[in-house]
Amino acid sequence: MGTVGTLRSAGVRAGDEVVVPAYGSADIARAVVESGALPMFADVDPGSYCLDPEALADAVTARTAAVVAVHRFGRPADLTRLREVARRHGLLVLVEDEPGARPEEAGLRREHARYLDGRLSGVRTPEPAAGHRYERYVVRVPGNGRPDRDAFARALRGKGIACAVPVQAPVYRMPGLRREVFLPETERAVDETLALPLEAGMTRRAVQRMAAACNALGGLLQPAF
């Protein structure tokens, strides 16, 4: 049915507010707009990049009718706590997932992720969680935010590592969705995150080369004081 149809069938009306994550794709927020409702942006948990239950509670107003939780990069959102907040406020909870790999591919991704978790230095590796499929292996680059993250990415690409910035801007800065909002964890995630390639077809040797390339840059970036 899709997000728009689900919202409408659940009774979300024009003028209602729907809380959505501020970090990630704009598709969910645009679907809320298409349904006639108003997207309200909430901050994300810095470890999961999914909607923060406390931020959800802070975003609720008398007009809030629903919340959309999104599993990000293959890591599940904290649905237990999100649903607790939703029950207290009488909100509909919709859950969206990103396209997933086949089970056998997910197993290989987890194997590669475990190797990187134990070998990478100089970057913050993803927080482990039950059910994490590692659709993308997203690290944080320490230092001075976006300039150092971008420099790190350029250096890796120069070594043949096809890394990518997973989210270019907070959703509340995207065309047609602009709001006067500043959500600190979302801003930090946008500025610091970098997705390393983690395809199921990668060999262990390729993963080892990627780890070595990242670690060689560990001393390149120094935090500002």
Query: pLDDT of 136-157, one tens digit each?
Result: 999 999 888 999 999 999 999 9
Domain range for 24: 2-97
Number of domains the chain is built from: 2
State the DSSP code for 25.
-
Confidence of residue 9 (pLDDT cuts 50, 70, 90): confident
DSSP reduced 3-state for 207: helix
187/145 Cα distance (integer angstroms): 10
Q: Are residues 82 and 147 in the same domain?
A: no
- Of 34, 88, 91, 39, nearest to 65 by C-alpha is 91
Q: Residue 97: phi, psi to the nearest 5? A: -125, 150
Which stretch of DSSP H or E encloses residue 114? helix 103-119
pTM of the model: 0.91
* Mean pLDDT over the full length of the chain: 91
Q: Are residues 161 and 204 in the same domain?
A: yes
175/45 Cα distance (integer angstroms): 24
Tell me the per-residue pLDDT of 100-130, one tens digit each, with 9 for 90 and over: 667 778 889 999 999 999 999 989 999 989 9
Tell me the per-residue pLDDT of 163-217, one tens digit each, with 9 for 90 and over: 999 999 999 999 999 999 999 999 999 999 999 999 878 999 999 999 999 999 9
**Domain C-terminal end among 45, 72, 97:** 97
Q: Are residues 153 and 112 in the same domain?
A: yes
Gyration radius (Cα) of the chain, Å:
19
pLDDT at residue number 225: 34
Q: Are residues 82 and 151 in the same domain?
A: no
Find out whether 37 and 17 touch, Cβ atoms under 8 Å: yes
